[in-house]
C-alpha cells in the first residue's frame, strides 16, 4: 500500500512505517552522540512509551544507559489496506534497534489505566527483570475508565471562571484567527479532567509495583508536566488541564511517602512546549510554539523531545543535583522560559497575522515536526513507493 498523510484538523489519520523507523533512528543517533549517562538507570518501565516524551525517555534510557526497557501503551497494528498507528511503528523500530544493540526491550499493548495491564506488566517484570529502578509516567489520553469503580471519565479543555479569547492558527493553512472558548459550567468538568490527567493513576502504578516487590532500592519515578507563558495560562495552566497538572504535581509528596522505605524518590519534570499529538489539539499553543521555535532556533537553544529527555536524564535525574525549583519540580523548560526568549515571543505575538506568519514564525518547522510524528516528510524516503503496513512487533503482548 502507498501511504500518504491524511489529516482531519489536528489529527493525522495515517502513519508511515519506514518514516516512523527513520524518526526513531534519528533519536537513537542523537542519544548515542551524547555519550553514556553517568550512573544511569538499568531496568526501566515507561508507561506511555510509544510517542513523544515517553518514546524519547525510552530511547534515552536504552541508548544512553544500556537499560533494559519495558514499554506500556495503547496502539493499533496495521491491517491489510490500513496502516497502524505511529506509536505501533515507533515501537517496532525501537525494538528492532534495541535488539541489534543487544538490549532487552519488550512491550505491553493495552489500557494502562486498567488493573489488568498493571498485572501483566508486573508479571513481565518479575519474569524477566526482577525489579525496575526507574518508572517513567508519560500517559496522554483524553479519557479514562477508573479501574476500581468502572466509571468512565472524559477530560475537557476549557478555561475556568472567565470567557477566553485570543489568537490561534490553523497550522495547515497558516490562517491566524481569534478563538473564543466558554468557561466550564460544571465542577464535574474540572473533576473529570483531574480524574483523567491528574496523579491518581501514577499513584496506583507505584502502589501496585511496590506491593508486588518489583521496585528496586533507590528507585526513581518521574511524570511530565507543563507550565508555559502567561499568554497560555487561561486555556492551559489556569484552566481545566492546569488543575489536573496541579493534582499530578501534588502527588509527588504521596509517592515519596510510598517510596521512603525503598530509599526512592519521585519527581515531576516541567518540559518545554513541543509539537506532540496532545499539544496540537490545544488552541493558541500551535501559534505560540511556531513563534517560540523561531526565537529559540535563532538563539541556537531549540530542543525537541529527544534533546529534552536526554538532558533530563543526564543533567537532572542522574546528576548529583536534580536542580529543583521552589515548588520541588525539575525544570527542563528553563531555556523556553528565559526572559529574553519570552520577551521576543510576546513581541511577535502582538505582531503576527495571516499575512506575516510565514516570515516571523517557524510555522514551516511546526508543520514538519507534526508530520514527522507520523513518519512523513523525512528525506530519503520515497512516499510514492509501496509500504509494509503490516509491521509486527513480536514482543508486544
- Exposure on the CB side of residue 235, measured as CA atoms within 13 A: 21
| Average pLDDT over every residue of 219-236 | 94
Q: Is 245 annotated as a binding residue?
A: yes
Task: Write down the pLDDT at residue 276.
Answer: 85
Tell me the torsion sign for CA atoms 124, 129, 131, 135.
negative
Task: Write down the pLDDT at residue 76.
Answer: 94
- Report the C-alpha gap between 104 and 196 in whole angstroms: 31
Q: Is 94 annotated as a binding residue?
A: no
- pLDDT over 70 (residue 175): yes
Instruction: Read off the pLDDT band of 73 (50, 70, 90).
Output: very high
Q: Is 74 annotated as a binding residue?
A: yes
Cβ proximity of 246 and 253 under 8 Å: no
Residues in a beta bridge with 12: 7
Residues 6+ apart with CB under 8 A from 60: 31, 37, 306, 309, 310, 312, 313
Q: Is 52 annotated as a binding residue?
A: yes
37-41 contacts at long range (C-beta below 8 A, 24 or more positions apart): 37/64, 37/65, 37/313, 37/314, 37/318, 38/314, 38/318, 38/319, 39/318, 40/64, 40/65, 40/67, 40/313, 40/314, 40/318, 41/65, 41/67, 41/133, 41/134, 41/220, 41/313, 41/318
Domains and CATH numbers, the chain: 7-373 (3.40.50.720)
Q: Is 177 annotated as a binding residue?
A: no
395 three-state secondary structure: coil
- Report the C-alpha gap between 240 and 155 in whole angstroms: 8
Cβ proximity of 289 and 274 under 8 Å: yes
Task: Write down the pLDDT at residue 217.
Answer: 98
- pLDDT over 80 (residue 227): yes
Is the pTM of the predicted complex or chain greater than 0.85?
yes
Cβ proximity of 290 and 362 under 8 Å: yes
Task: Write down the pLDDT at residue 392.
Answer: 65
- pLDDT over 90 (residue 81): no
- pLDDT over 70 (residue 312): yes
Q: Is 140 annotated as a binding residue?
A: yes
Cβ proximity of 387 and 2 under 8 Å: yes
Residues annotated as part of the active site: 236
| Average pLDDT over every residue of 354-371 | 96
- pLDDT over 80 (residue 211): yes
Degrees, nearest 5: CA angle 228-59-227: 10
- Report the C-alpha gap between 51 and 84 in whole angstroms: 14
Q: Is 244 annotated as a binding residue?
A: no
DSSP letter string, 117-150: HHHHHHHHIIIIIS-EEEEEE----SEEE-TTT-
Q: Is 318 annotated as a binding residue?
A: no
- pLDDT over 70 (residue 390): no
Residues 6+ apart with CB under 8 A from 339: none
Instruction: Read off the pLDDT band of 395 (50, 70, 90).
Output: low
- Report the C-alpha gap between 62 and 280 in whole angstroms: 28
Residue in 90, 36, 39 with CA at minimum distance from that of residue 60? 36
- Report the C-alpha gap between 351 and 349 in whole angstroms: 5
| Average pLDDT over every residue of 332-360 | 97
pLDDT per residue as tens digits for the range 90-139: 999 999 999 999 999 999 999 999 999 999 999 999 999 999 999 999 99
Q: Is 149 annotated as a binding residue?
A: no
Residues 6+ apart with CB under 8 A from 150: none
| Average pLDDT over every residue of 259-284 | 92
Task: Write down the pLDDT at residue 397.
Answer: 64
Instruction: Read off the pLDDT band of 394 (50, 70, 90).
Output: low
Please, what is the average pLDDT of the chain?
95
End-to-end CA distance of the chain: 26
Q: Is 231 or 42 the better-scoring residue by pLDDT?
A: 42
- pLDDT over 70 (residue 389): no
Instruction: Please tell me the chain's helix, strand, coil percentages from 3-state DSSP, rounded to the nearest 5.
Output: 45, 15, 40
- pLDDT over 90 (residue 282): no
| Average pLDDT over every residue of 316-324 | 91
Instruction: Read off the pLDDT band of 279 (50, 70, 90).
Output: confident
Q: Is 274 annotated as a binding residue?
A: yes
- pLDDT over 90 (residue 267): yes
Percent of the chain with pLDDT over 90: 89
Lowest-pLDDT range, 81-95, 269-283, 303-317? 269-283
Helices (H), 169-284: 187-197, 200-211, 240-259
Residue in 277, 340, 312, 379 with CA at minimum distance from that of residue 52? 277
- pLDDT over 80 (residue 396): no
Amino acid at each position: 500500500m502507498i501511504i500518504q498523510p491524511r489529516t482531519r484538523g489536528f489529527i493525522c489519520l495515517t502513519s508511515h512505517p519506514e518514516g516512523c523507523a527513520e524518526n526513531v533512528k534519528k533519536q537513537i543517533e542523537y542519544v548515542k552522540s551524547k555519550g553514556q549517562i553517568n550512573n544511569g538507570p538499568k531496568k526501566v518501565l515507561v508507561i506511555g512509551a510509544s510517542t513523544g516524551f515517553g518514546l524519547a525517555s525510552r530511547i534515552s534510557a536504552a541508548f544512553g544507559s544500556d537499560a533494559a526497557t519495558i514499554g506500556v501503551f495503547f496502539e493499533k497494528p496495521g491491517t491489510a489496506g490500513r496502516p497502524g498507528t505511529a506509536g505501533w511503528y515507533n515501537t517496532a523500530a525501537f525494538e528492532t534497534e534495541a535488539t541489534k544493540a543487544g538490549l532487552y526491550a519488550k512491550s505491553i499493548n493495552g489500557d494502562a489505566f486498567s488493573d489488568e495491564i498493571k498485572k501483566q506488566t508486573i508479571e513481565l517484570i518479575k519474569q524477566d527483570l526482577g525489579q525496575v529502578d526507574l518508572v517513567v509516567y508519560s500517559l496522554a489520553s483524553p479519557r479514562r475508565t477508573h479501574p476500581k469503580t468502572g466509571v468512565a471519565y472524559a477530560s475537557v479543555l476549557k478555561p475556568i471562571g472567565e470567557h477566553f479569547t485570543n489568537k490561534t492558527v490553523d497550522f495547515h493553512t497558516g490562517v491566524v484567527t481569534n478563538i473564543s472558548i466558554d468557561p466550564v459550567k460544571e465542577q464535574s468538568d474540572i473533576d473529570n479532567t483531574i480524574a483523567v490527567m491528574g496523579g491518581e493513576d501514577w499513584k496506583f502504578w507505584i502502589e501496585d509495583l511496590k506491593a508486588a516487590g518489583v521496585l528496586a532500592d533507590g528507585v526513581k519515578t518521574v511524570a511530565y508536566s507543563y507550565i508555559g507563558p502567561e499568554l497560555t495560562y487561561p486555556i492551559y495552566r489556569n484552566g481545566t488541564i492546569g488543575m489536573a497538572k496541579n493534582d499530578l504535581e501534588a502527588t509527588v509528596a504521596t509517592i515519596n511517602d510510598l517510596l521512603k522505605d525503598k530509599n526512592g524518590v519521585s519527581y515531576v519534570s516541567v518540559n518545554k512546549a513541543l509539537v506532540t499529538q496532545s499539544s496540537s489539539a490545544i488552541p493558541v499553543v500551535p501559534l505560540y510554539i511556531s513563534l517560540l521555535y523561531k526565537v529559540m532556533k535563532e538563539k541556537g537553544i531549540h530542543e525537541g523531545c529527544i534533546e529534552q529527555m536526554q538532558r533530563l536524564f543526564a543533567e537532572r535525574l542522574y546528576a548529583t543535583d536534580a536542580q529543583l525549583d521552589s515548588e520541588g519540580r525539575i525544570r527542563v523548560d528553563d531555556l523556553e522560559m528565559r526572559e529574553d526568549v519570552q520577551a521576543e515571543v510576546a513581541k511577535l505575538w502582538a505582531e503576527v497575522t495571516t499575512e506575516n506568519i510565514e516570515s516571523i514564525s517557524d510555522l514551516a518547522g511546526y508543520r514538519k515536526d507534526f508530520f514527522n510524528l507520523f513518519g512523513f516528510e523525512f528525506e530519503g524516503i520515497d512516499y510514492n513507493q509501496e509500504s509494509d503496513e503490516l509491521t509486527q512487533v513480536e514482543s508486544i503482548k
